[in-house]
Chain A
Amino acid sequence: MSKIPRLSVRHLTKRFAALVANDDISLDVMPGELHCLLGENGAGKSTLSSCLYGLYQPDAGEIRVDGKTVQLRSPGEAIRAGIGMVHQHFVLVPGFTVVENVAVGTGSGWRLGRAEALSRIEAICSTYGISLNPHQFVGDLSVGEQQWVEIVKALYTGARLLILDEPTAVLTPEESRRLFAIVRRLTGEDLSIVLISHKMAEVMQSDQVSVLRKGRLVGTVVTSQVSRDQLTTMMVGRSVAAPTRAGDAKAHGETVLSVRGLTQLRDRRPVLDNASLDIAAGEIVGIAGVSGNGQDELFECLAGLAHPDGGKILLDGETLQAYSPATIAAKGVGYVPSDRFRDGLVADLDIGENLVLGQQWQARWRKGPFIDAAALDANARTAISAYSIAATGPSAPSRKLSGGNAQKVILAREFAKATRLLLCNQPTRGLDIGAIEFVHRQLLRKRDEGCAILLASEELDDLFALSRRIGVMFRGRILAVLDTKKATYDEIGSLMAGHRSEAAA
């Protein structure tokens, strides 16, 4: 009766210098099982995945696939053992088409085999209902579409065990539902899936959950036998409330940000189309919308990183367009970009340096012409403890941070900088629920200090919990700005799909 597990991990330990990222981990995944890995940011989930995919070499322990012990010295050996993986951060070539990204390194001999690759990709897409144009360059795709390319890449290798590291972090709720339908079909075909997610609703759909905390395995449980609360308690060591509607600030001040008819063209087509919006001091305005509908462009215009082709941006009554990002930042504007490693951090600088990025010339970080290392260090230590950033210390290069911890570094910097206006584009992407709760509290604190906040999130829960009004973006336009108290999820959802409802008129 006892089936052989597809994957067995025994006493796996992985160290990075002094830091033990995985400490004596043992778990089993059966054929056809959806197994979730749950844990706070920096708990060691991605490290474990990388060990299973041959990217990292464990310092101790054993990995068995279908009962056979395997030595995974490289991803090649993992692929041959039937393991596939979608990485937490995209591993794509922007200058290659979808076909080239999927096909590169597969096949044999000199022939490119583009036609065969194309037909196999089309077969995968039609079997699982994925819509992708295989001839498009990956650099032109939205983050959501790029994630689908990664998923097709993983399916293309014909793996029997798939590791998905936070695949839904950059997918919309609708796309995530589609991914789960695919995942269930795959488990029905006897594939095993190891899924990492911070979204409890997704975790609750799995068969088993292994909870990691600070590199150790807290336990593996059968999902149907535990509650959401029990899982979060296992994960963070205390219970965390789901985001609930926070009271509005007592008073709203004067208008801080006023956007009028903002328009931006790309290839003569508007990516921002006559968008208008006001935010008052002490107010949080949410932006809902499927990613790629102009949110990134709106934020980039506001932060001074892009120049609008038409319209006006006023901060405290002063036109902003003419200013450089540095000048805008100096006026008390903080900006949390959606792509953290591209726009938010310098990967090779350490945490202390990243925390003062853009302000390094200010007197408080300097000692004469030199950087004041002691001030940076003290500042970093404060941020590390305030935001509970899991890192070896202030001098750890940010490249080595886990995804969620890298996000926390950006939040710490921008929250400190913002006094008038805080621009947050997907600030909770990739954060664990404890961290999300923390970010929510910080946002409310900023609001109560009188900061005007623009908050874009694909998590409607975030928006409903925090914002006083919610604007919905579709094809570069702000279709409507609704009062959160009166709005419903359905109403927002249909606006996100481009249907103008009566209420919005």
Chain B
Amino acid sequence: MLDALFQAAVLTSVAAATIRISTPLLLASLGELVAERSGVYNMGLEGMMLMGAFTSYLAAYESGSLWLGVLAAGLTGALMALVFAVLVITLKIEQIVTGLAVNLLGAGLSTYWLRSAFAGDGKTPTIPFFADVPVPGLSNIPVLGPILFDQRMLTYIAFLMVPAVWLFLFRTRYGLIVRCAGDNPKALDVKGVRVAPVQYAAVVFGGLMAGLAGAFLSVGQAARFVPDMTNGRGWLAIIIVIAGLWRPYPILVAALVFSFLDALQLQIQGVGIAIPYQFMLMMPYVAAIVALMIRRSRASAPARLGVPYTRE
């Protein structure tokens, strides 16, 4: 029965699924990367993603436009991040605790809103979801074409964000400023650049990306909203940032590894190999714990990550 796994068609579909599954992880972890590089831990990623998933579904359902759904998700994530930023940057409340509170808010609010918007058992009607967009020409390449170039729009965007974020952080003046805020905010302050606006912008960007990640889950692939549908992916994105040593390309690699394990798990369930499915479901998370153990050094973390900045 194992041979069933190793047929060319199966392998191609595992690979294509890996790319698809990595989309929300990449979007969320790249956003988190920028926020953490500016010195702020956003532990509320899971909640922001979940709200993004819900509002995009709601907006798409009401308007009939999937892209309006995506827009709604981005705005929701950004708005939640803005509230989070007021709490942790301006009011200097503990970042981790505040992040946890945002997660509880996201879980509660999305379920509550769902129940009040769709009376009954809370089952949501399905809507059409984003179709695959083959890239003309490239999608015809044997093997690689169907894997890489026959994906959804948000997937292409997520992958393009990797070099974009890298360029931003390491090749622009604002990127240098963001990194300085995370490593030594005082060094920025004494140059006459205020630290708080930099961190606000980075955190709001992180929230926007988390919203988009949520949108991919609902309108991007499931075509509906299910309570708690993020299922720990926000946490996984935070781990990916650590495993990727706070750098865009290693983050891409880490996201692909976790997604591959997830894709494999789906495939194994599909072909009916007799491993309890809970065990396979566990695999990405086991891998995450292993990654954290190997990458235990915090040497590459921004030096002032999680420490609010004050002058006196």
Contacts and interface: CB of A to CB of B under 8 A. Distances in A.
Given A16-B312, A56-B312, A112-B171, A93 B194 contact: no
Interface in B141-186: 171-177, 179-180, 183-184, 186
Given A104-B180, A105-B177, A79 B192 contact: yes
A95 B169 CA distance: 14
B190 A112 contact: no
A136 interface: no
B189 A75 contact: yes
Contacts of B180: 93, 96, 104-105
B187 A53 contact: no
Given A56-B311, A93-B183, A113-B173, A106 B190 contact: no
Interface in A50-104: 53, 55-56, 74-80, 85, 87, 91-96, 100-101, 103-104
B173 A109 contact: yes
B188 interface: yes
A92 B192 contact: no
B173 A112 contact: yes
B193 interface: yes
Q: Is the interface of B mostly helix, strand, loop or mixed?
A: helix
Contacts of A104: 176-177, 180, 187-188, 191
Nearest to A111: B173
A75 B191 contact: yes
A100 B176 contact: yes
Contacts of B184: 91-93
A1 B235 CA distance: 71
B312 A107 contact: no
A76 B192 contact: yes
A110 interface: yes
Contact of B186 (A80, A91, A96, A103): A91
A87 B194 CA distance: 18
Of B174, B176, B190, chain A has the most CB atoms within 10 Å of the CB of B190
B190 A91 contact: yes
Contacts of B171: 112
Contacts of A106: 191
Given A16-B312, A104-B176, A105-B188, A74 B194 contact: yes
Contact of B190 (A75, A95, A108, A109): A75
A112 B172 contact: yes
Contacts of A96: 176, 179-180, 183
A149 to B, nearest CB: 11
B192 A87 contact: no
Interface residues of A, number: 32
Nearest to B193: A105
Interface residues of B, number: 23
B161 to A, nearest CB: 17
Contact of B187 (A16, A92, A111, A112): A92
Given A16-B312, A93-B184, A53 B173 contact: no
A93 B303 CA distance: 9
A104 B184 CA distance: 11
Nearest to A108: B173
A436 to B, nearest CB: 29
A246 to B, nearest CB: 41
Contact of A85 (B175, B183, B190): B190
Contacts of A55: 189-190, 311
Given A56-B312, A110-B174, A112-B172, A74 B192 contact: yes
Nearest to B174: A110
B186 A76 contact: no
Contacts of A109: 173
A55 B185 CA distance: 13
Contacts of B177: 104-105
B174 to A, nearest CB: 6
B264 to A, nearest CB: 37
B190 A87 contact: yes
B192 A75 contact: yes
A497 B191 CA distance: 36
B308 to A, nearest CB: 13
Interface string B181-213: 001101111111110000000000000000000
A113 B191 CA distance: 16
A109 B311 CA distance: 26
B199 to A, nearest CB: 14
A375 B45 CA distance: 46
B187 A93 contact: yes
A398 B189 CA distance: 22
A111 B174 CA distance: 8
A164 to B, nearest CB: 14
B299 to A, nearest CB: 10
A423 B47 CA distance: 53
Interface in A126-149: none
A113 B190 CA distance: 20
Nearest to B191: A105
Given A76-B192, A100-B176, A103-B176, A95 B187 contact: no
The 9 closest A-B CB pairs, nearest first, are A76-B192, A105-B191, A105-B193, A93-B183, A79-B192, A104-B180, A93-B184, A91-B187, A110-B172
Given A77-B192, A87-B190, A91-B184, 17 more contacts: A53-B190, A55-B189, A75-B191, A92-B184, A92-B187, A93-B179, A93-B187, A93-B303, A95-B183, A95-B303, A96-B180, A100-B176, A101-B187, A104-B176, A105-B188, A110-B173, A111-B172
Interface of A: 16, 53, 55-56, 74-80, 85, 87, 91-96, 100-101, 103-113
7 contacts: A55-B190, A55-B311, A93-B179, A93-B303, A104-B177, A111-B173, A112-B171
